Chain A
Amino acid sequence: MSPTLIAKDLMTKKVTTVSPEVSIKDAALKLFKMGVSSLPVVDGENHVIGIISEGDLIKMALPSYALEAGRLSFLPEYEPFERKLANADKVKIKEIMREAMTIEEDEPIIEVARLMVIKQVRSIPVVKDAKLTGMISRCDVLKEMVRRSGILGETK
């Protein structure tokens, strides 16, 4: 029987973060550069105050009614993104970030997995004493599950 793993054991410790004062454009560039799907937003003392993901940025580039208007395939020329993103270098992250769900370092994997499924998030910031210590992603959890199941044979 393998020892019980907790969030701390699986998380990525080197986390790319953004400050709430950074512009949307810079945050997007950071997402592309680091190849991650979301960035935790932290204040000067490393407290997680929000999160911003690719999905949030895509949603921002769409007019809200476009999500309610049904299938839009009939409108190939309609690309309102330019207009919606016109202020991307002026609007700050703190204006559009979502409230972040965080998880304590000592939470077991089963709880991490449950949260990912129920809340439909791809990664969760891990905290200790309210300060960010790492990020745990779906990939981290899945890798561990697969490893445990032994379906890949003995890895590692």
Chain B
Amino acid sequence: MNDLIIGTTIFIITLVAILLDKMHRMIVALVGAVAMLVFLAGRYSQKEAFAAIDFNTIFLLLGMMILVDILKKSGIFQYLAIKFAKLGKGEPSLLIILLPILTAIMAAFMDAVTAVLLIAPITFVIVDALGLHPVPFLLAEGMAANIGGTATLVGDPPNVMIGSAAGLSFMDFVTNVGPVTVIVLLAFAISIRYLFRKELFILSELKEMVLAFDEKKAILDVKLMRKGAIVMGLVIIAFIFHDKLHLEVATIAMGGAALMFLVARANPSEVLKSLDWPTLLFFMSFFIVVGGLEKVGTIALLANGTVKITKGNPTLMSMLMLWFSAFASSMVDNIPYTATMIPLVRTLTTTSIAPLWWALSLGTCLGGNGTLIGASSNIAIAGISEKEGYPITFKTFMKYGMPLMIQSMLICTAYIYLRYLM
């Protein structure tokens, strides 16, 4: 009983401190992890804590970060952005669909923040050259990145964590959350175009200018671009067959990183310097915090409570999971949220309710679009925009984000119900 109170208290303090955002979340989680080990000394061992860290998640993220960091130096993503801009023939109402779709595709295979940081600046340049207001484009890209990340196991950290914990493969995600993500993305594109219809006019001679862009001039290193694209292609193929190959996704990502180092002859210390270590350490620390929470029995209590409230009804549990996850992750960082929910769902799914995992994935990933603080890619977008004198406030973001999030949740509700529960 005593341990239950200690563990739960440390967890809640950690979570609140992350939410308050006064101190970097990595530092908060590290303090929380150490607190769990110190205050539960003798009951929650370091060995157990390290076993609670999901290294499949950590090494998948690390491998993909290395891959993308080397590949992006070729200029390939700017090249693609210009290609996509030209596909729309300079028509702003197509531009606002095509550039976010590119962002979504990229985010399906890399971290959403990275996708946004690659595409937003070049978008800013293009729309500024066309005399368009940049904010609609940036908002659309930020949200599209979250939608794209939902589609695959490697796209968004919650999916990586869920896949790893539930033993779900890359193709399990593609076939289960993939289809609904495509529908959500298309509905999103139509809505975005409608919402910003008044901002999308330019002079016809400017359209010519877009068509005259030479995307080849955005390439920084042709050889690296070719080699890198091949490595990335191989990695994606390996992801598709990873369960048949009996390889975990982290193994493939590390293999891809190793291959990329070999073919690009990149300097390791330079590459490693630019990786997002704070996020990786945050992950590890928070896994330790949740490991403690599970050890003291709080998770089991919550799981029993959920079963009691929903009377074990799978439809009710799935819908509750979907909508609760969406609103929770629109306010809270989705990494700690997922890390906490995974052991809970694992306890619940002993009665084999598979849609609960998909509800958790869809709710958590897409919920990030609800508010400015719901996803780190939203914050990244706001940062880029503010630097140039176009601040995106919490209120502005929510005005578009919340209805679009609810739209995507309605689509998911119908999908989960029709596919799994009927």
Interface residues of A (CB under 8 A from B): 63-75, 77-78, 80
Contacts and interface: CB of A to CB of B under 8 A. Distances in A.
Contact of B388 (A64, A71, A74): A64
A132 B396 CA distance: 48
Interface residues of B, number: 25
Interface of B: 75, 77-78, 82, 117, 120-122, 124-126, 128-129, 209, 213-220, 384, 387-388
B215 A65 contact: no
Please report whether the interface of chain A is mostly helix, strand, loop or mixed according to DSSP: loop
A72 to B, nearest CB: 7
A69 B128 contact: no
A65 B121 contact: yes
Question: B-side binding surface: helix, strand, loop or mixed?
Answer: helix
Contacts of B82: 74
Nearest to B209: A77
Given A69-B122, A78-B128, 10 more contacts: A63-B388, A64-B384, A65-B387, A66-B125, A69-B121, A70-B121, A74-B214, A74-B217, A75-B126, A80-B128
Given A74-B213, A75-B213, A78-B129, A66 B220 contact: no
Nearest to A67: B121
A63 B126 CA distance: 12
Contacts of A68: 117, 121, 384
A63 B121 CA distance: 10
B388 A70 contact: no
Would you list the 5 A-B pairs with minimal beta carbon distance, nearest first? A68-B121, A69-B121, A70-B78, A65-B124, A73-B217
B388 A65 contact: yes
Contact of A71 (B120, B213, B220): B220
A64 B217 CA distance: 20
11 contacts: A63-B388, A64-B388, A65-B125, A69-B122, A69-B124, A70-B121, A70-B218, A71-B218, A73-B218, A74-B214, A75-B125
Nearest to B73: A70
A82 to B, nearest CB: 13
B215 A63 contact: no
Contacts of B217: 71, 73-74
A69 B217 CA distance: 13
A69 B125 contact: yes
B124 A70 contact: no
Contacts of B215: 74
A69 B125 CA distance: 7
